[in-house]
Amino acid sequence: MQVGIIACSSSTIPPLKPRRTATFISSKHLPFLGRRKLCCDVVSRLPVPPPTPRDNNDEDNISRICKQDFAQENLPLTTRRTLFARLLMSTRIMDVRLLIAYALGDPSVTIEQVTPSVFSAGTLFPSEERIVKLFEKNTYSVVNIFDVTLRPQLNITGAVEVPEGNGSGVVWDEQGHIVTNYHVIGNSLSRNPSSGQIVARVNVVASEGVQKNFEGKLVGADRTNDLAVLKVEASKELLRPIKVGPSSSLKVGQQCLAIGNPFGFDHTLTVGVISGLNRDINSQTGVTIGGGIQTDAAINPGNSGGPLLDSKGNLIGINTAIFTQTGTSAGVGFAIPSSTVVKIVPQLIQFGKVVRAGINIEIALDLIANQLNVRNGALILQVPKNSLAAKAGLVPTTRGFAGNIVLGDIILAVDDKPVRNRAELFKALDEYNVGDKVLLKIQRGNENLELPIMLFT
């Protein structure tokens, strides 16, 4: 067997160049070298150890040698930018390989389609469930009220009903009585309608969620307390009276709910807390209502006449006003307390007006009382002759022989309720009924007296 030797001539293959060895880097050149080149030059001068012989039969030896080789291996210089580029390149290469394998029908390569997990909404929190149930229970007791006014037209149709405003109301009983604010139907009431006259359109929600429209006939109204009662001719199955709760036991901070029709959006729910109690409400009727409930539940135009509910779903007030400079909710709303509502509404249903218990005397206006140096209490100006007030011994204000003014009795309290001015006297008397006996604490000159008297109309 002949062995041939092929010689490589220098004319065909260029001679190998000697490997470039690292030169020593002088410190004077360091400022002119880039950080990357400097590191590469330093790494190139590191010695490469010879490979360690391995025993393939000894597993412990293999593990030890691999660790040593890995530690002694001369790793190339890397930066964050280089690592990111290599990772991106390897990812793209793997994607291309997978696509080619999938296109050629390689059975060893499968592409799994991952469907994202969709989680169900699940059940509500207990507090949310309670609010939802309260709304669903009481929403049928809230109605939408449109104030209407009869206006003459220039055609043969005569008078037509023209919407003037809108608000809310609550179903009071199964007889069809609807309670709302006086100012909600104020445009119609300004025409002095008689009892039984149509003053509003009332939308009542049926069980299937459809609103049914009815004529709202006037039953009674009280401007002083900003309350009015309408009546609709609807079946008992459609009417769901609201449950009235006490307002005297309310606490600041407890939760409350308001349902109404703000800006015409029917049956809107807002949630808040009781922010204050015994507030004086400057109602849209121009009078001040005492004992008001303050809440931060959003109350907007259209909420007037709607219910304010406690956490049990009981009526604790009738929403009536908001404190705002923009005309929309500013987090300060007011409601007439249910203690006032349960006293006024039965009188409106029975008499068409509020029959107030009084003393049948004339009380001086605050301006006049201040001019007469009466700073505390309600000054009596006149007492009718032969009246119960005269028989009880009340003394009016008179003029002396010299023309000087002799002050009459000044009422300081009704029972244990202090009276600082004329308005507080009427407010105190509103808590009594005709025929009740009260004890008046009065100031006559320099002495204080107590006089019992029976209240009448």
With beta carbons less than 8 A apart as the criterion, state whether 122 and 135 touch. no
| Nearest CA-CA partner of 259 in 149, 379, 167, 391 | 167
3-state helix/strand/coil string of the chain: CCCCCCCCCCCCCCCCCCCCCCCCCCCCCHHHCCHHHHHHHHHHCCCCCCCCCCCCCCHHHHHHHHHHHHHHCCCCCCCHHHHHHHHHHHHHHHHHHHHHHHHHCCCCCCCCCCCCCCCCCCCCCHHHHHHHHHHHHHHHHEEEEEEEEEEECCCCCCEEEEEEEEEEEEECCCCCEEEECCHHHHHHHCCCCCCCCEEEEEEEECCCCCEEEEEEEEEEEECCCCEEEEECCCCCCCCCCCCECCCCCCCCCCEEEEEECHHHCCCEEEEEEEEEEEEEEECCCCCEEEEEEEECCCCCCCCCCCEEEECCCCEEEEEEEECCCCCCCCCCEEEEEHHHHHHHHHHHHHHCCCCCCECCCEECCHHHHHHCCCCCCEEEEECCCCCHHHHHCCCCCEECCCCCEECCCEEEEECCEECCCHHHHHHHHCCCCCCCEEEEEEEECCEEEEEEEECEC
Catalytic option among 304, 310, 338, 430? 304
> Is 226 noted as a catalytic residue in this protein?
yes
* Active site annotation includes 304: yes
Verify whether residue 266 is a known catalytic residue.
Answer: no
- Give the count of beta carbons closer than 10 Å to the beta carbon of residue 141: 22
- What would the two tokens of residue 414 be? 């009704």
Query: Of the residues 147, 177, 222, 226, which is catalytic?
Result: 226
* Alpha carbon distances (Å) from 38 to 23, 26, 27, 28: 12, 11, 11, 13
Q: Give dist(CA 102, CA 284) in Å, integer.
A: 77
Residue tagged active-site, from 183, 266, 267, 283: 183
Q: Catalogue the active-site residues.
A: 183, 226, 304
